[in-house]
Structure 1
Amino acid sequence: MVSPDKATGLNEWKSGWTLVLASAIGYSFYSVMIGGLGLFMEPLDKAFGWSRALLSSGPGIATVITAILSPFFGTLIDRVGTRRLVLPGLVLTIITMAAFGLVTGAAWQWLALWVVYGIVSTSLKSTAWTAAVLGVFTGSRGLALGLMMSGLALSQILLPPLGNWLIAELGWRAAYVWLALGWGGVALVFCLLFFFDVHDREAERRRQNGTTREQEPSATLDLPGLTIRQAWRNAALWRIGISNLVVMALTNGLAIHLFPILTQAGVSRANAAWLTSLGGIAAIAGKLLTGVLLDRFRPNWIGALTFGTAAASFLLLMDNVRSPGLIVLALVVNGYAAGTKMQIAGFLTAGYGGMRNFGAIYGVMGGLLALAGGIGPMAAGLVYDLAGSYGPFLAAGGIGCALCGLLILTLPRYPDWQAHEAAPA
């Protein structure tokens, strides 16, 4: 006999697997521009003589804009749903990405395009895809979220060889256009056909019944959860936000500086490039395993375990600890942990804040995480400049991730949102 929870999960997958697929493909497209910047640095440097500082400043600008806009965008999700925001966002992002192939060498063009990209791509960051999936899935929420976020890890695996081939065969200008139209076009088609959320399901139910919202006021979509004011005073959400901010800053700093850390440890550039690719594979495994565990055990335990493994990856890379075998282990562990941060943040936010104002609450979380993504690499570089090595940063990373894991481990139990929802009825 199938248990009620398992039956709920199976029914959710029967009606919602296409949503997860479309969301994963759409989320993968969001990472193409920033994830592929390294591939375009050398061609752009040769074409225009641009410095690495100028080239790197573009994603920083987009990240700051995304951090500012995320809370406002999250509020729009709660009011109008995700589909109405994602579809036009995809079209505008495709156009903006293709426009990068038209730059003529003026630095202001490069910076201006990144400003535009930061604005239009805000609708494609994790908030939209997470809100759609978490609103539809309850019994198998962790696995669904893990599969959706695997789109980001998949792009980390496919983008380097694909982007490098396009640049080598067609040139960097055409590479921008083909990545925009090809990858973005596929994402747009899948989202047009399969992307929806609870708002769309409610609207479809009304169409089938031949009624309007005015005719069914009692059926107005009213999801359980905290109000915005309650969320600001909720200690659990603050702990989730702070811990994810710190861990994101530390792990992003490690990810950006991982290549020089490996070469300074005596690893050849060829082997370092191969070793860093392990992160994308480990990230997919981490998302799927974490998704299964989140559905079966207390989520704060799984979050604490993940942050603890992230701490281990820092410590294994330290000068007096590392060895060839431990370096490989550290990269696998780091890839596993790095692939689950946004997943755990979304899952815990939905659990402690509910879905009533999830877009607004997670929008703030997403803004903090985007800000951390810019702070971490800068902090790691500053530590290296001052200390002459990455040792202090690695030690701080191990301690910081461990303390954040303890912060998550001691979270209280979830509120019973089903009971909250049933009480008024």
Structure 2
Amino acid sequence: MTAKQEWAANWQLPLLAMLGIAGAATFGYSSGVFMEQMTREFGWSRAQFSAAFTVQMVLGLIVMPFLGRLVDRIGPRRIGLAGICIYTLAFSALGLANGTIWQWWLLGAVQAFGVAFITNPVWLSSVIPRFHASRGLALAVSLAGIGVATLIWPNIAAFGIQHLGWRMTFPAMAILWGAIMLPFAWFCLIDPPAIEVPTGATEAKAPKSDYLRALRSRTAICLALAGGIFASVTYGIILNLVPMLQAQGMTLTAAAGLTSTMGIFVIGGRIATGYLLDRLPTRPLSIAVFVLPVIVCLVLWLFPGNSIAIMVAVALLGLATGSETDVVVYMIAQRFGRDIFATVLAVIMSVFALLAATGPLLAGSIFDQYDSYEPYLMIGIPLALLATLCIALVPDRPVAGVDAGITV
């Protein structure tokens, strides 16, 4: 099939994936808006508040590999439909916080369970097998959900807090997303096509990719470390960007509005990267993407309070966030078989989650100790360079002993 034929037949799948991924990112991209209100009301430190995100990421490390294996076995449709309902309830429950920090962390754990059912492996397992000529662009549209999340959730959260209070804003955001997603997924979410069995072989004897070998490969390890360290640096900035700007004199609405503009650059960076992945060598493009957080940290560190510098940093942060997952998922699809795609993606994303959880916690702890985010930005520079080195070390060839790549 040509790229045009692929989109004519399957256009609804990347759009559904985009909305699903946007929902999974609700807490990550709106928690900074809630942070000031809740820490002031309950007397929590910012590190204590951010630890709920850490709990979510650590539990994701445990749950997501099992979920990815389940997606490979039974398909994404049943998991996705159930996940929409589970996540809507779990996110709504965050409004029940009563000021006890352990209860807040427990609510974060409940939300983590819901997030696992609507993360990337669920949606992309339906998208990727149906796109080959235009896989990079299909991935870009799907993963643009992060940009959508960045664009809408801070503004919706700020509006809700001002008109409903922070407690009611949690269920309002969850129900809004669930009401859109459930009917869309019911009619459009489909399982991937069956893997063809060689002539003369039974389905039980069809060749299977070795997912344990895949997970031990240099490719998987480098991708996991590169993406995880990258996420640690960027999530630490993103989740603290609103309070960071408030500390420089901005109002909540202005800070949330400026942060939400990052979503435009996330979407633009994602679409541009997806387009280029279909046309350029992966390695130089991936290195260019992974070095962007170095520039972001330098600009925010060297030019604090400078409005032009802040806008440049927000734009580059959006481009970086929008491009990184495109590159990693595209490499996984190139180098691993379809029958283990969701498993490999889920495990690598679990490492992302674990390392990403350290960023907001570290940023919050540094602010609590130094009353400044500058030390975190200084630490972020060598970490981002390490992530760039890891992505540069990913081998060009598919993993030996594993069926190479996903084809239509």
Distance 1:11 1:163 in 2: 39
Query: How far apart, CA to CA, are the structure 2 residues paired with 1:94 and 1:75?
Result: 23
* Match 2:24 to one of 19, 30, 34: 30
Shift of 1:187: 0.9
Residue 325 of structure 2 corresponds to 342
1:185 maps to what in 2? 179
Asked whether 1:250 is paired with 2:233, we answer: yes
- In structure 2, C-alpha distance between the alignment counterparts of 1:252 and 1:62, rounded to whole Å: 13
2:44 pairs with 1:51: yes
Q: Does 1:71 align with 2:65?
A: yes
Q: Does the CA contact (< 8 Å) of 2:398 and 2:404 recur in 1?
A: no
Say if 2:63 is the partner of 1:80.
Answer: no
Shift of 1:307: 0.8
TM-score (norm 1): 0.82
Structure 1 equivalent of residue 194 of structure 2: 202
1:70-109 alignment runs, 5 A limit:
70-101=64-95, 109=103
Match of 1:314? Answer: 297
**Does the CA-based 8 Å contact 1:300-1:410 persist in structure 2?**
no
Shift of the 99–333 alpha-carbon distance from structure 1 to 2, 3 Å rule, reads: closer
Q: Flag the 1:56–1:292 CA change in 2: closer, same or farther, 3 A.
A: same
Q: Does the Cα contact within 8 Å between 1:352 and 1:414 map onto a contact in 2?
A: yes
Moved more, 314-323 or 57-66: 314-323
Question: Which position in structure 1 is the counterpart of 2:12?
Answer: 18
- Aligned with 1:166 (options 138, 142, 160): 160
Instruction: Indicate the residue corresponding to 1:115 in structure 2.
Output: 109
Take 1:221 and 1:272, find their aligned partners in 2: how far apart are those partners?
A: 58
Q: Is the 8 A contact 2:335 2:399 kept in 1?
A: no
Q: What is the CA-CA distance between 1:373 and the residue it aligns to?
A: 1.8
Aligned length: 401
Q: Which is greater in Rg?
A: 1
Q: Does 1:288 align with 2:281?
A: no
- Quote the offset at 1:393 in angstroms: 3.5
1:353–1:387 CA distance, 2 compared to 1 (3 A) = farther
> In structure 1, what is the equivalent of residue 56 of structure 2?
62
Q: Which sections of structure 1, spanning at least 5 residues, go unmatched?
A: 1-6, 206-212
Is 1:333 aligned to 2:326, yes or no?
no
Q: CA deviation at 1:384?
A: 5.4
* 3-state SS of paired residue (1:248): helix
Deviation readout 1:65-95 (Å, 9 max, x if unpaired): 1121111111111111111211111111222
Alignment match of 1:302 (pick from 285, 305, 316): 285
Out of 204, 208, 227, the residue aligned to residue 210 of structure 2 is 227
Secondary structure in 1 aligned to 2:302?
A: coil
Q: Report the alpha carbon displacement of residue 255 of structure 1 after superposing the two structures with TM.
A: 2.0
For residues 322 and 39 of structure 1, the distance between their equivalents in structure 2, rounded to whole angstroms, comes to 19
Deviation, 1:119, is 1.5
Q: How does 1:362-377 map to 2 (within 5 A)?
A: 362-377=345-360
2:133 alignment partner, SS class: coil
1:412 matched to which residue of 2? 395
Decide whether the 8 Å contact of 2:232 with 2:360 is kept in 1: yes
What is the one-letter code of the residue matched to 2:239?
I
* SS at 1:356 equivalent: helix
Q: Which residue of 2 aligns with 1:155?
A: 149
Q: Work out whether residues 300 and 348 of structure 1, in 8 Å CA contact, stay in contact via their aligned partners in 2.
A: no
The 3 A distance-change label for structure 1 pair 281 and 99 is same
Report if the CA contact (8 A) 2:332-2:341 is conserved: yes
- Between the aligned partners of 1:102 and 1:384, the Cα distance in structure 2 is 27
Given the superposition, is the C-alpha separation of residues 129 and 391 from structure 1 closer, same or farther in structure 2, using an over 3 Å criterion? same
1:288-308 CA distance string (max 9 Å, x none): 111101111122222111012
Partners of 1:55 and 1:392 lie apart in 2 by 20
In 2, the alpha carbon distance for the partners of 1:298 and 1:71 equals 29
Asked if structure 2 preserves the Cα contact closer than 8 Å seen for 1:93 and 1:120, the reply is yes
Going from structure 1 to structure 2, the CA distance change for 1:416 and 1:176 (only over 3 Å counts) comes to closer
In 2, the alpha carbon distance for the partners of 1:369 and 1:381 equals 19
Alignment RMSD (CA, Å): 3.5
